[in-house]
Amino acid sequence: MIDIKSFTRKWLPVVETHMRQTLSGGDTYSQGMWGMMRYHLGWEDERGYPDSAPQGKRVRPLVVLMSCQAAGSDPAQAIPAAAAVELLHNFSLIHDDIEDNSPTRRHRPTLWTWAGVAQAINAGDAMFTLARLALLDLSGGGVSDRRTLQAVRVFDETSLRLTEGQYMDISFETRTEVGVAEYLAMIAGKTAALLAASAQLGAIVAGADEERSGQYWRFGHELGVSFQIQDDILGIWGDEALTGKSAASDILTRKKTLPVLYALSQSNPANESLRQLYARTDEFSPADVSEILDLLAQTGAREHAEQVAEHHAQAALQALAATGGELEGTALLRGLAMQLLGRAS
Amino acid sequence: MIDIKSFTRKWLPVVETHMRQTLSGGDTYSQGMWGMMRYHLGWEDERGYPDSAPQGKRVRPLVVLMSCQAAGSDPAQAIPAAAAVELLHNFSLIHDDIEDNSPTRRHRPTLWTWAGVAQAINAGDAMFTLARLALLDLSGGGVSDRRTLQAVRVFDETSLRLTEGQYMDISFETRTEVGVAEYLAMIAGKTAALLAASAQLGAIVAGADEERSGQYWRFGHELGVSFQIQDDILGIWGDEALTGKSAASDILTRKKTLPVLYALSQSNPANESLRQLYARTDEFSPADVSEILDLLAQTGAREHAEQVAEHHAQAALQALAATGGELEGTALLRGLAMQLLGRAS
């Protein structure tokens, strides 16, 4: 019997406490910067009063803790790593919001819109640093120096993959030609790297050797790729009522996601019309959107994307099975993966 | 016989090699981001061709290596830490240039002016990460896991101090009231923290215990504070031919540095006139600048700043003497400090 809810209810408050402790510092003069970080996390409003704004789903810390259990240890040991990946994720959101010029996140003004770009860049840097400091707490909680250093290295290499993914994503916006392989490299960095590292870190804390922690990494990586492609499909064909975004929103914003890039890469008459539509710089009309959806249908773009997503979902489950981990933890990871991919477990 | 030049000629190329190795990564798709970092460091031009633009003085890596020698070890062991502090410093410059809206640095366009704000924020994040990865190489070079983790913690806590200093510096620009104590806290973070950490890291690599590495920290901290205040004095009364900046440049840009903040804090008739001048938002005329210089003279602002700088210079030398370190390394640190403070050793 997998019970993700009980696991979440038991462990997320512990992660939250660790995050709050990590963010409770600062002297009189720099309180403003600490307040900015707490604002971004939804804990305080602009004036520093307690707030309980909607937060993320905390998927990454859950993956850390479930992997730690699956690899044979008490999730309690992995709390600092769980807090670290969530803070790293939030640091990247602060900077992404500036880079993408996004005015709102989770129904509130993004940090840069009220604190200004300069202070928001700097507060992001501070949160990046705090994520690393949270991770170092592993060594105080019974994890050996050797393992802590391994975790630090994985964390830093993952941070680098995130910046590479973000570099590609930003560059796609101003480029006309983007290949499918390049797109897959982008989501491997931007979406999958941190999910992969979360699974790997849980296993490292539990004492898994390189091969075994590599299987957890692969599980997270494949899950991340599959999840992102599925998100791309929903961005075009998703049900407005379920996704909360307007229908065909990724068409309207000209986002270069897998279905579109696949269609553009096909030698098919639809290809040329699509290319001409995407070469335009004015806003798409509802008629344009219908035409694009027709052209995508002619190239089989949706079916292709669904196949690729399914392929990576299967690869994730295979990698998870290959870990040979403890039963309950493995079942929790499997259940969480199914939830993420919008399937019944 | 202290020979800073020979030490520099022997060791800086080794640091440079380590930095170049750290920055030689990246796959086909993300080369652009790596090129941005190499551009900022002066190694490549905008198109990726080799360049040899003027670089910084590399004071921080020299402090790391000299401290390592003074604390009794071969500077070779501290090369990863020396590369790390220089990369951390350069990461902070990339982000500072965006935050301060600076168009040029070392006679070239700043990274954001040609790569755009979004890519420059992200490339800065990548360099921040590479600084950390460079530091982790300590453990491959004979430094124990325990010591490497100590170094990582010092590095991260220092990064946090840098963001706190930068937070204050940005906030000063839009505030009318800034106290002297607050200003000193700002430069402790923005300027002194990294110099202090450089000295401390060299000592940690050499195996110094907490008390001893703390003395090296204090040396770097006091040196950094003294250096910054001296720089503030030069920003107002410096000789144009020597500083390369226009005379009274910090007056023209209304920078809130120690002499001005001290003058504003005095109960003196000059205080009110000065406050009124600084409350204005139009550009200062040459007559305004003369008047401000007169008012500063009436409050004894220059003498006060010189006394404070001298006090911290003496404290730096006392801290250095208290280390009881190896003679040549200690003499090198003393000589470098004297050079930085513009005095004959």
Q: Which residues of A touch B156 (CB under 8 A)?
A: 129, 132-133, 136
Query: What's the average model confidence in pLDDT over A58-84?
Result: 98
Half-sphere exposure of B46 (CA within 13 A, CB side): 9
CA distance B128 to A146: 23
Residue A244 has pLDDT above 80, yes or no: no
Please tell me whether residue B105 adopts helix, strand or coil conformation. strand
> Residues B135, B84: contact at Cβ < 8 Å?
yes
A136/B126 CB distance under 8 A: no
**Chain B: residue nearest A162 by CA?**
B126
Which pLDDT does position B243 carry in this prediction? 67
B189 vs chain A: nearest CA distance in angstroms? 10
**Chain B: residue nearest A33 by CA?**
B167
B132/A156 CB distance under 8 A: yes
Average pLDDT, chain A: 94
Mutate to test the interface with B, among A22, A30, A149 (most CBs of B within 10 A): A30
**Chain A: residue nearest B97 by CA?**
A118
pLDDT in tens, chain B (345 residues): 569 999 999 999 999 999 999 999 888 899 999 999 999 999 999 999 999 888 888 999 999 999 999 999 999 999 999 999 999 999 999 999 999 999 999 899 999 999 999 999 999 999 999 999 999 999 988 899 999 999 999 999 999 999 999 999 999 988 888 999 999 999 999 999 999 999 999 999 999 999 999 999 999 999 999 999 999 999 999 887 776 667 788 999 889 999 999 999 988 888 889 999 998 889 999 999 999 999 999 999 999 999 999 999 999 999 999 999 999 999 999 999 999 998 765
pLDDT in tens, A81-96: 999 999 999 999 999 9
Note the pTM of the prediction, 2 decimals. Answer: 0.96
Selecting from B98, B139, B182 the residue whose C-beta is nearest the C-beta of A149 gives B139
The distance between the two most distant Cα atoms of chain B, rounded to a whole number of Å, is: 65
**Chain B: residue nearest A152 by CA?**
B136
Query: What's the average model confidence in pLDDT over A45-52?
Result: 92
Amino acid of residue A247: A
Q: Which residues of A touch B139 (CB under 8 A)?
A: 149
CA distance A222 to A224: 5
User: What structural domains does chain A harbor?
Assistant: 4-340 (1.10.600.10)
**Chain B: residue nearest A118 by CA?**
B99
Q: Which residues of B touch A152 (CB under 8 A)?
A: 132, 136, 149, 152
B306 vs chain A: nearest CA distance in angstroms? 25
Q: Which residues of A touch B33 (CB under 8 A)?
A: 163-164, 167
Query: What is the pLDDT confidence band of residue A243, given thresholds at 50, 70 and 90?
Result: low
Selecting from A122, A132, A159 the residue whose C-beta is nearest the C-beta of B167 gives A122
Selecting from B30, B100, B129 the residue whose C-beta is nearest the C-beta of A167 gives B30
Which pLDDT does position B236 carry in this prediction? 94
Q: Which residues of A touch B122 (CB under 8 A)?
A: 95, 99, 163, 166-167, 170
Mutate to test the interface with A, among B110, B132, B136, B168 (most CBs of A within 10 A): B132
Q: Which residues of A touch B146 (CB under 8 A)?
A: 145
Query: What's the average model confidence in pLDDT over A67-72?
Result: 98
Selecting from A27, A32, A98 the residue whose C-beta is nearest the C-beta of B171 gives A32
Which pLDDT does position B342 carry in this prediction? 86
A167/B122 CB distance under 8 A: yes
Selecting from A152, A159, A167 the residue whose C-beta is nearest the C-beta of B152 gives A152
Selecting from A122, A149, A163 the residue whose C-beta is nearest the C-beta of B145 gives A149
pLDDT in tens, A169-189: 999 988 888 999 999 999 999
CA distance B306 to B317: 17
Query: What is the pLDDT confidence band of residue A345, given thresholds at 50, 70 and 90?
Result: low
Q: Which residues of B touch A160 (CB under 8 A)?
A: 25, 126, 129-130, 133
Containing B131, the helix (H) or strand (E) segment is: helix B117-136
Query: What is the pLDDT confidence band of residue A240, given thresholds at 50, 70 and 90?
Result: confident
Which pLDDT does position A241 carry in this prediction? 72
A163/B132 CB distance under 8 A: no
CB pairs under 8 A between A and B: 143
A148/B149 CB distance under 8 A: yes
CA distances, B231 to each of A294, B164, B183, B245, B306 (Å): 66, 20, 14, 11, 11
Selecting from A136, A152, A163 the residue whose C-beta is nearest the C-beta of B126 gives A163
CA distance A195 to A188: 10
**Chain A: residue nearest B36 by CA?**
A167
Give the residue from A234, A21, A274, A161 showing the smallest Cα distance to B25. Answer: A161
Q: Which of A63-67, A313-317, B231-235 has the lowest mean pLDDT?
A: B231-235
**Chain A: residue nearest B31 by CA?**
A164
> Residues B333, B60: contact at Cβ < 8 Å?
no
> Residues B246, B288: contact at Cβ < 8 Å?
no
Residue A2 has pLDDT above 80, yes or no: no
